């Protein structure tokens, strides 16, 4: 009689048998198909919900990303090379307090400084150097570029200088106007031959727990000096992007202003010149929103994953399974592979079809969808598929460990669905939702993140708004670790226990 | 040594099952307590005993489903869990209800076939063999117990195994099904297969089995051919039919026999051969109409052998210690 200790020659038949088992229970195949269908249906609903009618377009930066480009500018034009120097004498911020009232406050990323901008159109290329209350001197360009200057001095005045030479713009900072430190030289993407140069003040919203408050900042400038091809006109005060989806406007009764009081120039402004976050562009959609159907699909896939083994225990079919193949770990592995492949195919189909159709519908309906590079779109589709696959394996492991359907379904819901819900409700404290999104299997939803958090923008970066604490693949890895640990425990128990 | 335990007769002539010294405990209950027997090819071995005697536990141990604390169960010299394509070595049916109710009968056999590297043709062959061809596409959840038993038999035969092991296959079968099952079992043994069939009712297997293993309290209390069992239980007793029962009993008792009367014309005599009884009766002119060897029924043998086990359990359950 031929006896075989191992495995390799025996694995393919077991795999095939488990596949046959899976596909011959109509309910399981139907549930998987329904899961993919739900992803598509939810995506279609999300896409059809439509956007604001006749609203201003979302400003897009030179890199293709949504931006905030609403601030107060006092400017002239500069043709060709030239420079500008100024001292920021003061920068003060006020925040709304009660109806119609304002009180002094601190907004770390309030900005007062000098800027070269291609045009006064929103989203145009720029380079700027500025002082901030909380982050020292910064040199920023094209919305996403941010370079730290000297951290101190915090004492006013702080001197700033921009020099343009061809494509390159160099920023300098100084504490006294005589000893200068070069901050950086940058080449903005598309500055053009003639720029609007001058002074600016921006005052982004103050992050206040799960929401924000609009702020207004006022800066005094002294010692303004220019050289090079500047126009002869007077400095003109302009509110850039007064009507914009990424600008909430001035809290009444404040408004933007520019005064020139004999060499002491004063600007009052609100808004920001920075990449837009989800909080600022609340009407924007994300691929994650469109793929909300992942959640019902996840539930369906996990129920099937659990039942794939608990029905065997319920019916004593496990005895037949283990007499057909006494290699218990092998049998469990075959089940896991079959489930994972089925769930992966489900997730990939749902994510691709839902993502494409939903995005297309949403954009056709006037909704701004945060742009997703192809690599990120592929990552979301494959990652969503992998999320469902790993969750189904975790459910299988729970089923093998607990051996009863109701108990196993409850257990996997507790470790996967509950974290998802904690993340999905807006009132969960961010510390809690961030911890949940780090340590529980719910971390895997990070794989659907398409938003970029920016160090130079204070915003509400919580899993609820679409920003996860872990990198996409790292989040998925957390779930994968849970699934692998569960499956290992299940294999050990399956070997050790009587069937 | 128990005279009903088989003496060693050398190696098996073909693949069979050898169970030796199995011990297993469930909590405080000793489910198996040195269970030993063997199953030979070419004969149906009945595995009988009261419920709880350890029959199912033994079968599960043979199939590697339950671990044992001591002893071995070998299939042709190999533990089940080391068999490659095990269903081609041993076909088994433990529980006719062991199927997914939403899967068709054919699909149930199909995945089993795939697990052994077999194809759909073999599935169709066994479905026909057990008479389920007309319902093969129906969900097995709607099957009667009898139909499920047939499906279970089909699964056991799928790999055309030289060893077939069935746990209570007669359960839920209608009379026609029982007759079919008996024919099938005889046929399988006739093809040279080793067949082990368990039952808690001797009547179900007595006409089919050529060999019997009687289980009681987790061990085999008898492992012998049906003929040996009957002979041992009959114990050389002689049945005498006479109108002069009292005279005959006195006479035979004085000659050294142990006699028992049923109160009528029938007297059971132990300790004297039939020839000696006839000679004594003739010499003393006691009339009689019949002298014959007593033939015990298998049911009697079974009850005799398993009484101890049943009484033991009754006692332990009633007298708390």
pLDDT digits (tens, 9 = 90+) for B185-218: 999 999 999 999 999 888 888 889 999 999 988 9
User: Which residue from B63, B95, B107 is facing A24, i.e. has the nearest CB?
Assistant: B107
Task: Copy the structure tokens of residue A146.
Answer: 């941010």
Is residue B11 a part of any domain in this protein? Answer: no
Is residue B80 a part of any domain in this protein? Answer: yes
Residue A339 has pLDDT above 80, yes or no: yes
Q: What is the mean pLDDT of chain A?
A: 92
Cα distances from A351 to residues A158, A280, A287, A340, in angstroms, run: 52, 27, 10, 16
pLDDT score of B267: 86
Please enumerate residues of A whose Cβ is less than 8 A from a Cβ of B. Answer: 1-5, 9-10, 13-14, 16-21, 24-27, 311-312, 315-317, 319-320, 322-327, 498-499
Task: Copy the structure tokens of residue A349.
Answer: 């189909």
Residue A154 has pLDDT above 80, yes or no: no
Residue A216 has pLDDT above 70, yes or no: yes
Contact between B102 and A315 using a beta-carbon 8 Å cutoff: no
Q: Are residues B62 and B127 in the same domain?
A: yes
Cα distances from B249 to residues A498, B72, B278, B284, in angstroms, run: 59, 52, 13, 12
B314 pLDDT tier (thresholds 50, 70, 90): very low
Q: What is the mean pLDDT of chain B?
A: 87
Residue B301 has pLDDT above 90, yes or no: no
Name chain A contacts of B116, Cβ cutoff 8 Å. 13, 324
CA A413 to chain centre: 26
Question: Which residue of chain B is at minimal alpha-carbon distance from A313?
Answer: B98
DSSP label of A83? E
Task: Yes or no: say if B133 and B127 are a contact pair by the CB < 8 Å rule.
Answer: yes
ipTM rounded to 2 decimals: 0.84
Q: CA A35, CA A355: separation in Å to the nearest integer? A: 14
pLDDT score of B306: 76
Is residue B140 a part of any domain in this protein? Answer: yes
Among all chains, which residue has been given the structure tokens 């249906």?
A41
Q: Are residues B162 and B285 in the same domain?
A: no
pLDDT score of B309: 59
The DSSP line for B114-136 is HHTT--HHHHHHHHHHTT-GGGT
The DSSP line for A362-392 is HHHTT--B----HHHHHHHHHHHHHHHHHHH
Q: CA A399, CA A306: separation in Å to the nearest integer? A: 5
pLDDT score of B321: 37
> Does A488 or B249 have the greater pLDDT score?
A488
Q: Are residues B94 and B219 in the same domain?
A: yes
User: Nearest CA of chain B to the CA of A469: how many Å?
Assistant: 43
B272 pLDDT tier (thresholds 50, 70, 90): confident
Is residue B303 a part of any domain in this protein? Answer: no
Which of A329, A318, A344 is CA-nearest to residue A404? A318
A37 pLDDT tier (thresholds 50, 70, 90): very high
Say what percent of chain B tops pLDDT 70. 90
Residue B150: CATH number of its domain: 3.40.50.300
Task: Copy the structure tokens of residue A73.
Answer: 């500018």
Q: Are residues B159 and B259 in the same domain?
A: no
Q: CA B93, CA B202: separation in Å to the nearest integer? A: 19
How do the domains of chain A map onto residue ranges? 9-52+283-496, 67-275
Cα distances from A332 to residues A8, A445, A492, B188, B239, in angstroms, run: 14, 26, 10, 34, 63
Q: Are residues B213 and B268 in the same domain?
A: no
Is residue B119 a part of any domain in this protein? Answer: yes
CA A249 to chain centre: 24
The pTM is what?
Answer: 0.88
Contact between B102 and A25 using a beta-carbon 8 Å cutoff: yes
> Does A2 or A470 have the greater pLDDT score?
A470
The DSSP line for A398-455 is HHHHH--HHHHHHHHIIIIIHHHHHHHSTTS-HHHHHHHHHHSGGGGGGGG------T
User: Which residue from A16, A20, A326 is facing B81, i.e. has the nearest CB?
Assistant: A326
- Counting the structural domains of chain B, the total is 2
A53 pLDDT tier (thresholds 50, 70, 90): low
pLDDT tens string B138-166: 999 999 999 999 999 999 999 999 999 99
pLDDT tens string A61-77: 999 999 999 999 999 99
Q: Are residues B83 and B191 in the same domain?
A: yes
pLDDT score of B229: 81
Question: Which of B224, B254, B269 delimits the end of a domain?
Answer: B224
Q: Are residues B96 and B206 in the same domain?
A: yes
Q: Is B160 helix (H, G, I), strand (E, B) or coil?
A: coil
Q: Are residues B173 and B44 in the same domain?
A: yes
Residue A319 has pLDDT above 70, yes or no: yes
pLDDT score of A152: 60
Mean pLDDT of all residues in A288-295: 95
pLDDT score of B99: 93
Residue A204 has pLDDT above 70, yes or no: yes
* CB neighbourhood size of B217 (10 A): 22
Among all chains, which residue has been given the structure tokens 């099957």?
B143
For chain B, how far is it from start to end, CA to CA, in angstroms?
31
Range of the domain at B21: 17-224
Q: CA B185, CA B169: separation in Å to the nearest integer? A: 10
Mean pLDDT of all residues in B234-239: 76
Q: Which of A175-189, A360-374, B266-280 has the lowest mean pLDDT?
A: B266-280
Contact between A4 and B66 using a beta-carbon 8 Å cutoff: no
Is residue B94 a part of any domain in this protein? Answer: yes
Q: Are residues B129 and B270 in the same domain?
A: no
Bridge partners, residue B25, by sequence: B30
Choose the CATH number for A67-275 among 2.60.120, 3.40.50, 2.30.30, 3.30.200. 2.60.120
Is residue B276 a part of any domain in this protein? Answer: yes
Residue A382 has pLDDT above 70, yes or no: yes
In which element (H, E) is residue A71 found? none
Q: CA B190, CA A166: separation in Å to the nearest integer? A: 101
Q: Are residues B54 and B113 in the same domain?
A: yes
Cα distances from A307 to residues A145, A419, A488, A492, in angstroms, run: 51, 22, 19, 20
Q: Which of A114-128, B226-240, B298-312 has the lowest mean pLDDT?
A: B298-312
B271 pLDDT tier (thresholds 50, 70, 90): confident
Say what percent of chain A tops pLDDT 90. 78
pLDDT tens string A227-267: 999 998 899 999 999 999 999 889 888 899 999 988 899 99
Is residue B306 a part of any domain in this protein? Answer: no
B104 pLDDT tier (thresholds 50, 70, 90): very high
Please enumerate residues of B whose Cβ is less than 8 A from a Cβ of A. Answer: 15, 60, 63-67, 75-78, 80-87, 89-90, 92, 94-95, 97-104, 107-108, 110-112, 114-117, 155
Q: Which of A99-113, A427-441, A446-460, B267-281 has the lowest mean pLDDT?
A: B267-281
B320 pLDDT tier (thresholds 50, 70, 90): very low
pLDDT score of A8: 47
Residue B282: CATH number of its domain: 3.30.70.100
Q: What angle do CA B282, B284, B285 make, to 5 degrees?
A: 60
């Amino acid at each position: 009689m031929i006896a075989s200790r191992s495995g390799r020659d025996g694995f393919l038949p077991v795999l095939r048998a488990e596949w046959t088992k899976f596909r011959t229970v109509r309910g399981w195949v139907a549930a998987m198909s329904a899961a993919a269908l739900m992803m598509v249906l939810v995506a279609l609903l999300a896409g059809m919900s439509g956007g604001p009618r006749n609203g201003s377009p979302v400003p897009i930066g030179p890199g293709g990303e949504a931006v905030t480009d609403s601030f107060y500018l006092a400017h002239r034009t500069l043709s060709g090379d030239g420079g500008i120097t100024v001292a920021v004498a003061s920068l003060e911020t006020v925040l709304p307090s009660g109806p119609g009232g304002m009180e002094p406050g601190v907004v770390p990323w309030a900005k007062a400084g000098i800027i070269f901008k291609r045009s006064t159109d929103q989203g145009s290329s720029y380079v700027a150097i500025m002082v901030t209350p909380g982050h020292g001197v910064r040199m920023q360009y094209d919305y996403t570029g941010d370079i730290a200057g000297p951290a101190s001095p915090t004492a006013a005045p702080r001197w700033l200088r921009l020099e343009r030479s061809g494509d390159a713009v160099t920023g300098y900072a100084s504490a006294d106007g005589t000893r200068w430190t070069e901050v950086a030289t940058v080449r903005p993407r598309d500055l053009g031959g003639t720029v609007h140069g001058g002074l600016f003040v921006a005052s982004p919203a103050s992050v206040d727990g799960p929401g924000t408050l609009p702020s207004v900042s006022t800066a005094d400038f002294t010692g303004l000096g220019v050289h090079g091809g500047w126009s002869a006109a007077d400095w003109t005060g302009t509110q850039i992007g007064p009507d914009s989806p990424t600008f909430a406007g001035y809290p009444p009764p404040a408004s933007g202003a520019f005064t020139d009081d004999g060499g002491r120039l004063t600007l009052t402004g609100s808004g920001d010149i920075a990449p837009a976050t989800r909080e600022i562009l609340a009407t924007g959609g994300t691929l994650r929103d469109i793929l909300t159907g992942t959640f019902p699909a996840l539930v369906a896939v996990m129920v099937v994953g659990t039942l794939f083994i608990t029905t065997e225990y319920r019916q004593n079919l496990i005895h037949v399974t283990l007499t057909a193949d006494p290699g218990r770990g092998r049998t469990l592995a075959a089940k896991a592979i079959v489930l994972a492949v089925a769930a992966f195919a489900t997730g990939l189909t749902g994510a691709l079809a839902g993502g494409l159709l939903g995005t297309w519908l949403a954009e056709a309906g006037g909704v701004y969808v945060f742009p997703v590079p192809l690599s990120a779109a592929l990552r979301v589709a494959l990652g969503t598929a992998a999320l469902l696959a790993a969750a189904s394996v975790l459910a299988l492991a729970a089923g093998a460990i607990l051996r009863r359907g109701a108990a196993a379904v409850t257990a996997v819901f507790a470790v996967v669905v509950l974290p998802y819900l904690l993340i999905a409700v807006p009132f969960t404290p961010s510390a809690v939702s961030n911890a949940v999104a780090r340590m529980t299997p719910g971390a895997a939803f990070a794989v659907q993140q398409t938003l970029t958090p920016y160090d130079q923008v204070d915003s509400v970066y919580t899993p609820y708004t679409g920003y996860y604490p872990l990198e996409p693949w790292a989040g998925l890895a957390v779930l994968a670790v849970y699934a692998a640990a569960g499956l290992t425990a299940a294999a050990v128990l399956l070997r050790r226990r009587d069937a | 040594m128990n005279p009903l335990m088989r003496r060693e007769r050398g190696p098996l002539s073909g693949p069979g099952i050898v169970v030796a010294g199995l011990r297993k405990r469930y909590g405080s209950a000793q489910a198996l307590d040195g269970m030993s027997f063997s199953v030979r090819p070419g004969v149906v071995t009945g595995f009988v005993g009261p419920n709880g005697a350890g029959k199912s536990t033994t079968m599960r141990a043979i199939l590697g489903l339950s671990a044992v604390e001591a002893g071995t169960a070998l299939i042709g010299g190999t533990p089940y869990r080391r068999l490659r394509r095990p269903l081609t070595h041993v076909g088994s049916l433990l529980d006719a209800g062991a199927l997914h109710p939403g899967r068709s009968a054919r699909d149930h056999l199909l995945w089993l076939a795939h697990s052994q590297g077999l194809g759909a043709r073999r599935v169709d062959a066994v479905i026909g063999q057990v008479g389920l061809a007309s319902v093969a596409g129906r969900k097995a959840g709607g099957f009667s117990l009898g139909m499920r038993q047939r499906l279970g038999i089909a699964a056991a035969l799928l790999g055309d195994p030289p060893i077939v092991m069935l746990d209570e296959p007669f359960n839920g079968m209608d009379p026609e099904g029982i007759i079919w099952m008996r024919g099938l079992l005889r046929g399988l043994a006739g093809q040279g297969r080793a067949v082990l069939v368990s039952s808690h009712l001797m009547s179900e297997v007595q006409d089919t089995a050529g060999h019997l293993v009687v289980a009681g309290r987790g061990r085999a209390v008898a492992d012998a051919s049906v003929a040996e069992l009957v002979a041992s239980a009959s114990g050389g007793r002689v049945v005498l039919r006479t109108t002069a029962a009292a005279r005959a009993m006195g006479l035979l008792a004085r000659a050294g026999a142990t006699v028992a009367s049923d109160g009528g014309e029938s007297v059971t005599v132990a300790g004297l051969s039939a020839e000696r009884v006839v000679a004594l009766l003739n010499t003393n002119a006691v009339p009689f109409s019949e002298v014959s060897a007593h033939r015990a029924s298998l049911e009697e043998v079974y009850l005799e052998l398993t009484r101890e086990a049943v009484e033991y359990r009754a006692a332990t359950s009633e007298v708390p210690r």
